Structure 1
Amino acid sequence: MQLRMSASTRARRLASLGVAGLFVTLTVLLSGCQPRTDLSPVGADQPRERTGVKPVSFSKPPTIVALGDSYSSGEGTPPYDPDAPGCARGASAWPRLLGQQITGSTVILLACSGAKTTALTTSFHNQSSQVEALRALVVGKLKPDIVTITIGGNDAGFGPTMTSCVIWRCFWTGRDDRTREYVTEQLPSLLQTAYSQVKAAAGDARVIVVGYPDLFPSSTANTCKWLDNNERVQLTGLNNDINRVARRAASKAGVDFLSIDRVLDKHKLCTKDAWIYPVALTGAGLQASGHPNALGQRAIADAVYDYLAKGD
């Protein structure tokens, strides 16, 4: 059974509005997502006292290399590194915030916004492939001790899916079945190959696949007028499918998997105190749509730090 609002219901509504009315409606819908829409950092530089957390210790200051897509590059947390235009490697990206918590560590951010699994082995946004850059570090002076990666969301088309939810309805072309089929049948092999390539290039470094956080609120916490309950269930299911596939692929490739499903609990998209940027269709917030703000980045950094502290 496909969970979706009746096509005729929304079609009649949009037809009655006309073009001008549609733009007004979109403005109203977006305004119901989240009050904060600017891209200035949010509290990332504020020191946080975390009691009861075991300090992470290494025999020497570690080098941390972050690979993957916008969920590692720090999209939505400018200023961005000028030497990698298009990659949106943000000042408050969670790998950099993680490094701030580990004394003497070095963080090298190779992740690039918009990256698919192909960006690991081919040039993307005029940057060397991420695996090639990792391999160069291994044979150089900055040998990595920890390599993290988030990848797969862009392969599955998660971003355009969320945009379609705002414009009309989720999977309005019937893509839901095709997307689910892609995630369950094609993405697993892509991810397993990608993780294996990273592991092979990482030398003796520990490779940690970091999952995607659960972005979507409960039905009672939802403040977005564009997100009905059926759509919320659809999107949550797709997010869960991607994480489930990534966990299995990581296991088969012999690398770690860290679930961060709950790091945004009480602060998900479309809640009153969201740590996720609202979905935008135009303007400065377009690229940041659906990405963690600096507080969300901090929450992910804390989750990875805690994982390292456990020493699993």
Structure 2
Amino acid sequence: MTTLFAASSANAAGVNYVALGDSYSSGVGAGSYLSDSGSCKRSTNAYPYLWKNAHAPSSFKFVACSGARTGDILNSQISALDASTTLVSISVGGNDAGFADTMQTCVLDGDQECIDAVNVAKNYATTTLPGQLDKVYSAIKAKAPNAHVVVLGYPHIYKVGGSCIFGIGDTKRAAINGAADTLDSVLAKRAANAGFAFGDVRSIFNEHEICGSLTTWLNSTTLPVDESYHPKASGHSGGYLPVFSAL
């Protein structure tokens, strides 16, 4: 496996790469969307596309889609895999746990409503999501038995105690980051059980979160609203791409 991926950065001949997943893999929020991707919002600035440009794999299938849940991976994305697939990336789980709705509650309602919503999401992530992830990971192994699979996690959205005057307070920010931690720990464990690599992006995003001291790699509340709380192009090139490439 190592020799295959130690191919020079300019050439990954023999690598057949399939990028599965949700909006964090399709590149929602990163702009420059492929015209044929429609509401899936697949971006040429997303980490799978950047990796493809840098490594020139023999084949590249980009099927990640905004809003995708585990069921969508099984129903409409997994068919992109076959026995010749050698590399797979995937981020999924945030939509299953209701992350977008939780963010909306935290932005619009009070601290307690936010904490309650986060706790519902965390409970889902620890009780229901593991079984759903296992189904997805098993299906990936069955369809692409020869593939090296990298599961990508989610960053902290906010820097708690950061430099923001406006927006939500630190109580909510800490709660939202806690939801990301719970989700990432579940993803890491299920990925390990499946024999997949896990890409933890939290440390590389440190200080690049909303309210961080460095350039923000994430969109705050923005229009169109579906791009809020998603990585900008800089979050894909500076955050996700190096973590994925290292694995």
Pairwise same-fold verdict (TM > 0.5): yes
Question: How far 1:108 sits from its partner (Å)?
Answer: 1.9
Pick from 16, 20, 29 the counterpart of residue 76 of structure 1.
29
Structure 2 CA distance for aligned equivalents of residues 274 and 207 of structure 1: 29
Query: Is residue 2:51 matched to residue 1:111?
Result: no
Pick from 227, 232, 236 the counterpart of residue 288 of structure 1.
227
Q: Deviations over 1:49-80 (max 9, x none)?
A: xxxxxx94177342221101001001122332
Pick from 80, 94, 98 the counterpart of residue 133 of structure 1.
80
Question: How far 1:227 sits from its partner (Å)?
Answer: 2.0
Question: How far 1:146 sits from its partner (Å)?
Answer: 0.6
Pick from 34, 38, 57 the counterpart of residue 7 of structure 2.
57
Structure with the bigger RCO (C-alpha within 8 Å, sep 6+) is: 1
Structure 1 CA distance for aligned equivalents of residues 30 and 58 of structure 2: 21
Q: Deviations over 1:198-237 (max 9, x none)?
A: 1211131111111112222031x24152221211111111
Structure 1 CA distance for aligned equivalents of residues 101 and 107 of structure 2: 10
- Please say if residues 206 and 212 of structure 2, whose CA atoms lie closer than 8 Å, have aligned partners that are also in contact: no
Mean Cα deviation higher: 193-202 or 145-154: 193-202
Q: Deviations over 1:9-52 (max 9, x none)?
A: xxxxxxxxxxxxxxxxxxxxxxxxxxxxxxxxxxxxxxxxxxxx
Residue 242 of structure 2 corresponds to: 302
Pick from 156, 177, 188 the counterpart of residue 130 of structure 2.
188
Evaluate the alpha carbon distance shift between residue 270 and residue 105 of structure 1 in structure 2; reply closer, same or farther with a 3 A threshold: farther
Structure 2 unaligned residues grouped into runs of 5+: none
- Please say if residues 160 and 174 of structure 2, whose CA atoms lie closer than 8 Å, have aligned partners that are also in contact: no
**Which of the two has greater helix per residue?**
2
Evaluate the alpha carbon distance shift between residue 104 and residue 180 of structure 1 in structure 2; reply closer, same or farther with a 3 A threshold: closer
Matched residue count? 237
- Please say if residues 69 and 92 of structure 2, whose CA atoms lie closer than 8 Å, have aligned partners that are also in contact: yes
Residue 240 of structure 1 corresponds to: 181
Q: Please give the TM-score of this superposition, normalised by the length of structure 1.
A: 0.70
Secondary structure in 2 matching 1:292? coil
Percent of aligned positions that are identical: 31
Structure 1 CA distance for aligned equivalents of residues 32 and 7 of structure 2: 30
Write the letter of the residue equivalent to 2:140. Answer: V
- Please say if residues 162 and 170 of structure 1, whose CA atoms lie closer than 8 Å, have aligned partners that are also in contact: no
Question: How far 1:107 sits from its partner (Å)?
Answer: 3.0
Structure 2 CA distance for aligned equivalents of residues 105 and 262 of structure 1: 32
Larger Rg: 1
Secondary structure in 2 matching 1:84? helix
- Please say if residues 17 and 57 of structure 2, whose CA atoms lie closer than 8 Å, have aligned partners that are also in contact: no
Pick from 194, 214, 221 the counterpart of residue 279 of structure 1.
221
Pick from 203, 208, 213 the counterpart of residue 150 of structure 2.
208
Q: Deviations over 1:139-187 (max 9, x none)?
A: xxxx322101000000011122112222123562733332222111111
Query: Is residue 2:180 matched to residue 1:257?
Result: no
